[in-house]
Structure 1
Amino acid sequence: MSKLSGRKLYYTINAVAGLAIFFFGYDQGMMGGVNTSPDYVRVMKLGFSTYEGPSEGFVATITEPTRQGGIVSIYYFGTLLGCLMGGVLGDRLGRIKTMIIGSIWVLVGAALQCSAQNIAWMCCARIINGIGTGYLNAIVPVWSAEVATHTSRGAFIASEFTLNIFGVVVAYWLEFALGFIGDGTSQVRWRFPIAFQIVPVLAFMACVPMMPESPRWLIKMGRNAEAREILGRLRSDDGNMEEPRAVREYDEIVATVALEKEHASRNSYIGMFFGRNDGGLHIARRVQLSVWLQIVQEWVGIAAITVYAPTIFAEAGYAARKSQWLSGLNDITYMLSTLLAVVTIDRLGRRIGLWWGAVGQGISLILAGAFARLLKDHPEKASEYGGAAALFVFMYTAIFGATWLTIPWVYPTETFPLEVRAKGNAFGVVGWSIGNGWLTLLNPVMFNRIGENTLHVFGAINFLSIPLVWAFYPETANRTLEEMDYLFMSKSPFVWDEEENFRRMKEEAEAARLGEKTVRPPAPTEVVDVAEKKE
């Protein structure tokens, strides 16, 4: 592995990172089947089970939905803690060591979960498991972004999220198959799927030590010779350190690190959140963009569709088993749609992807909700209205997989300075944890109170996200990580001012590189705000 270079090394890193992302998807999808296992329901005292005949076996009925939701959502408290811990260690110890530490947390949590004997045991285990997942979520995308080229960075990470949804698919069908064991009451039905997550994590831990460290982190730590060697291997097929692309990228990173080290007092979470001493780099603005993009990702409706799709299938007149098949096929559609993201995320850019995704998702949710209402009002037309509602569920899932699934994960890995990039991405995971944990508890209440109108609420939020992205989220596709400071050094938070600032500073940097000015980029304090220029 250590001798690989060029495309072979590039794809190997992508596959290894994909193992961690596969685990992440599997871990999320796993609890859906665990929650319906009769033995799990009995052990955790969540309800009771009844025998529904030889074709269905024992079916669980939940009488303690709040307790069930608490077990699921407490995991996101763990991811919130883990991402903050991982962000600190990722910037101090490096990406490779931090990923190994996160994997150890996951192994301990998974072992405790699959052996849980009561609800307190299970909750503690899920917090530990969540901490490990938070570590990996904070660091793996950053590591991927820092080794990728600027023209394929989005596709590089998006391809890993194909494996993420493949993990969801594996979890679903594994648990579906285990439901046929005996009469469905075996504890294997829920303990084995929890234990199975250990397999990809062990494979990841075996491979990671053989992977190269992020060259950007190495330069930040003063290990320039190692960084040059790794950049040579990444950017040329023969590992040539004098490859022009590698040399130029190395020089850009060195110049950026020198600039950022002048403002090291901003590198605590509190300092980043409030923008203290950031020297005009506006770290607090980047934090807010990362956190809210991940929160909005949950509010555009994916959690609602996941919860409500089986209900739509059942009310359409499909038997329990057929509804399960449809849910599984929906997951496969979800996975295949992520391949469209791999193709489009760098070609169309992040902003266009979020825009067309929001439009398609909003329309799909509103129509799915409308046909679900008609389905209730006219049960005699269950096949027509139910089929239409199911179609828009599939359509929503496909559009989300092609757009909003991946972009909010890519964006935070690109926008922060190298000095605080791992911590910056951790803020994105904080937003994801808040959004997920919040809606895990809120969705059942919303569906209980307003039913299918919940889909209309989330449909409207999709359309509201369009002006938010247009005004505040600048394009990051096909720009190097070192160029992101040019965008955010504008004092104005609006995209049009940031783009003008980017063009001006890019021209100055190019002129400096060609020797028409000094090689060193202008300090943040020297930046003339675009708004001031207009005045």
Structure 2
Amino acid sequence: MRFFPSRGTRRLGSLSVFFALGSFVWGYNIGIIATLYVNSGWIKALHKPNAAQKGLITAIYYLGTWLSYVFLSHPLSDRLGRRYAGMVGAVVSCIGGAVQTGAHGETAFAMMIIGRIISGLGNAVISTSVPLYQSEIAPARRRGGVVVLNHIGMVSGLAVAFWVGYGVSHWTTKTGIFEGWRLSIAIQFIPALFFVIGLPFVPDTPRWLLEKNRPEDAHKALIYLRGAEDSPEDIEPELQEIKANVEFHNSITEASWFTLFTDSDLRARLWRGALLQFMAQMCGATAIKYYLPTVFLALGLSKDLSLMASGIESTLKIGCTIIEMLIIDKLGRKKTLLLGTAIMSLSMIVNGSLPLAYPNNKNHASDYTCIVFIFFFSFGYSIGFGPNAWVYGTEIFPTYIRAKGINICASAGAIGSIVVGQFFPVGIQNIGSKTYFVFFCINISAMVIILIWYPETKGKTLEEMDGLFGKLIGGSDVERGDNGHKGQDEGEEGAVEQHAVEVDAGKR
């Protein structure tokens, strides 16, 4: 009986945690802005921005992410590999943070906008390259949990950002009051530096190396990842399966943007991944992430308690996401998504209704109930949309077009974030808690869509996704629309299934 994790398991865990450090930078960048919206020094430096201007600062970040997803992130991941793409993303994100840190004078608002766009460009690269790397190094039976570490890193950054904001609020000297917010932004440079320094020392993914026609490097990388130095022959079945899948896709098509829209198999994957990312932001998560201290202020808490409660909420998200990491490969993606959206729907209807029944913070029990259900919302998001949107998107596309596919999907999420980021502060200002009814309707609709149109991908190898989505289109036969590759796909699927039976006990 083995009491300690195998060498391969230890390496898989270490690499996944290390890459989550990149996601930490991404999460910190999001969380620290939420604390600035209630920071008196930042408010003065930005010349007292109104609700629409705060919404613009939030939303413009996602313009940067959208531009990066469409034009920058996927070429970097394809050409440089997942790890060096992550390095570029971290450097660009820090440049954006530096611009925000230096915002002052008459141009402060403009500098904040420019810095947010640049940070969006960099964080978009991180947010796709990290889960891509984690997805491609993980065995199928562990892939969900491994990719969830991406979200754990993000919510950890979010939590630390809120606690930093809380700490800075207690820096009561003149320098602390008016300049402390600059330090809170600059702290992101520390984890980013460790991430950038470590990246050259980790291996590229075997799938990407095979895509770049580097079979010897792919062989060495897979031996390292599986800890098979003493028995390199053990990784041959897995390597051959990956190689066959890569060669098959390279033989029938070029990895162009148009393939995602013209190939019916890939289109079936694309709209599901993109819609999932879009719903993950439209469900209300962007509003809660960026305006949480502001939401708590509206529910009658002091600024100090609002920042503290935000830190507690974000810290609990880490635990909730760890729960998701433990259950996602047992319950599956679909069940956890449905459970999460049900919890979020209930939370939104409560936060919309109680302030209407008890306005102007006259009933403290009502306000505290709303706060409790905001915590429930975070739990629902942490076991549902939060990690699943990335897990699902990174595992459904074949290797040769995975980077392009996940970036298009993520760009749909950026569009949702732009909408919510601009809408929420203006909505709260004009229609109050009725704003939450919009999110309630979106979550109910999402439950129906997921229930009907999303297949379960739990336990499927990345190579077996072809058969899954082919069957969705062609019924009992695997078809690829009008591309004339039905026979080839059937052959590939059969080979994969036969191989899966032969080596089921040990391959993954």
Q: Same fold (TM over 0.5)?
A: yes
Tell me what 2:42 maps to.
40
Aligned partners of 1:83 and 1:137 also within 8 Å: no
Tell me what 2:94 maps to.
107
Q: Which of 232, 251, 260 is the matching residue for 1:262? A: 251
Q: Which of 396, 401, 406 is the matching residue for 1:425? A: 406
Tell me what 1:227 maps to.
218
RMSD across aligned positions (CA): 2.8
Supply the distance in 2 between the matched residues of 1:128 and 1:424 (Cα, whole angstroms). 23
Question: TM-score when scaled to structure 1?
Answer: 0.84
Shift of 1:299: 1.7
Supply the distance in 2 between the matched residues of 1:40 and 1:139 (Cα, whole angstroms). 32
Cα deviation code 1:281-338 (max 9, x no counterpart): x222322212111110112222344467556644654433233322322222222211
Within 5 A, what are the aligned runs for 1:319-398? 319-376=302-359, 380=362, 382-398=363-379
Shift of 1:483: 0.7
Shift of 1:11: 1.8
Alignment of 1:67 with 2:67, yes or no, is no
More helix by share: 2
Cα deviation code 1:404-439 (max 9, x no counterpart): 210001111101110011111111220221111111
Tell me what 1:203 maps to.
194
Q: Which of 109, 123, 134 is the matching residue for 1:144? A: 134
Cα deviation code 1:491-526 (max 9, x no counterpart): 62899999xx9x98787335765999xxxxxxxxxx
Q: Which of 393, 396, 409 is the matching residue for 1:415? A: 396
Within 5 A, what are the aligned runs for 1:29-178? 29-45=31-47, 47=48, 62=49, 64-84=50-70, 85-117=72-104, 118-178=108-168
Supply the distance in 2 between the matched residues of 1:251 and 1:81 (Cα, whole angstroms). 36
Cα deviation code 1:46-101 (max 9, x no counterpart): x2xxxxxxxxxxxxxx4x22222222221111111222312012112222222222
Supply the distance in 1 between the matched residues of 2:500 and 2:280 (Cα, whole angstroms). 42
The residue type paired with residue 428 of structure 1 is: C
Q: Which of 281, 290, 296 is the matching residue for 2:279? A: 296
Q: Which has the larger radius of gyration?
A: 1
The residue type paired with residue 508 of structure 1 is: G
5+ residue gaps, structure 1, are 48-61, 517-535
Q: Compare 409-418 and 102-111 and name the one that shifted more.
A: 102-111
**Cα 1:489–1:23, aligned 2, differ >3 Å: closer, same or farther?**
same
Supply the distance in 1 between the matched residues of 2:226 and 2:332 (Cα, whole angstroms). 23
Shift of 1:228: 1.4
Alignment of 1:480 with 2:473, yes or no, is no
Give identity over the alignment, percent: 28
Supply the distance in 2 between the matched residues of 1:129 and 1:371 (Cα, whole angstroms). 37
Aligned partners of 1:313 and 1:386 also within 8 Å: no
Cα deviation code 1:387-414 (max 9, x no counterpart): 2222211111112112221000111110
The residue type paired with residue 96 of structure 1 is: R
Shift of 1:446: 2.2
Give the 3-state SS of the residue equivalent to 1:254 in structure 2: helix
Alignment of 1:240 with 2:240, yes or no, is no
Q: Compare 355-364 and 324-333 and name the one that shifted more.
A: 324-333
Give the 3-state SS of the residue equivalent to 1:181 in structure 2: coil
Supply the distance in 2 between the matched residues of 1:514 and 1:100 (Cα, whole angstroms). 35
5+ residue gaps, structure 2, are 1-5, 480-485, 503-508
Supply the distance in 2 between the matched residues of 1:489 and 1:373 (Cα, whole angstroms). 49
Give the 3-state SS of the residue equivalent to 1:476 in structure 2: coil
Alignment of 1:456 with 2:437, yes or no, is yes
Q: Compare 129-138 and 297-306 and name the one that shifted more.
A: 297-306
**Cα 1:319–1:78, aligned 2, differ >3 Å: closer, same or farther?**
closer
Supply the distance in 2 between the matched residues of 1:429 and 1:468 (Cα, whole angstroms). 18
Supply the distance in 1 between the matched residues of 2:501 and 2:327 (Cα, whole angstroms). 37
The residue type paired with residue 389 of structure 1 is: C
Comparing both chains, which one has the higher relative contact order based on Cα–Cα distances under 8 Å and sequence gaps of 6 or more?
A: 2
Supply the distance in 1 between the matched residues of 2:499 and 2:51 (Cα, whole angstroms). 62
Supply the distance in 2 between the matched residues of 1:388 and 1:493 (Cα, whole angstroms). 49
Supply the distance in 1 between the matched residues of 2:116 and 2:237 (Cα, whole angstroms). 45
Cα deviation code 1:449-479 (max 9, x no counterpart): 3321222221222121122112222111111
Supply the distance in 1 between the matched residues of 2:46 and 2:92 (Cα, whole angstroms). 23
Supply the distance in 2 between the matched residues of 1:311 and 1:32 (Cα, whole angstroms). 8
Supply the distance in 2 between the matched residues of 1:308 and 1:228 (Cα, whole angstroms). 47
Cα deviation code 1:186-237 (max 9, x no counterpart): 3432111111111111100111110010100111111111111221222235
Tell me what 2:14 maps to.
12
Supply the distance in 2 between the matched residues of 1:307 and 1:163 (Cα, whole angstroms). 17
Shift of 1:163: 2.3
Give the 3-state SS of the residue equivalent to 2:458 in structure 1: coil
Give the 3-state SS of the residue equivalent to 1:222 in structure 2: coil
Supply the distance in 2 between the matched residues of 1:7 and 1:512 (Cα, whole angstroms). 26
Cα deviation code 1:128-150 (max 9, x no counterpart): 22111111112111011000110
**Cα 1:487–1:109, aligned 2, differ >3 Å: closer, same or farther?**
same
Give the 3-state SS of the residue equivalent to 2:447 in structure 1: helix
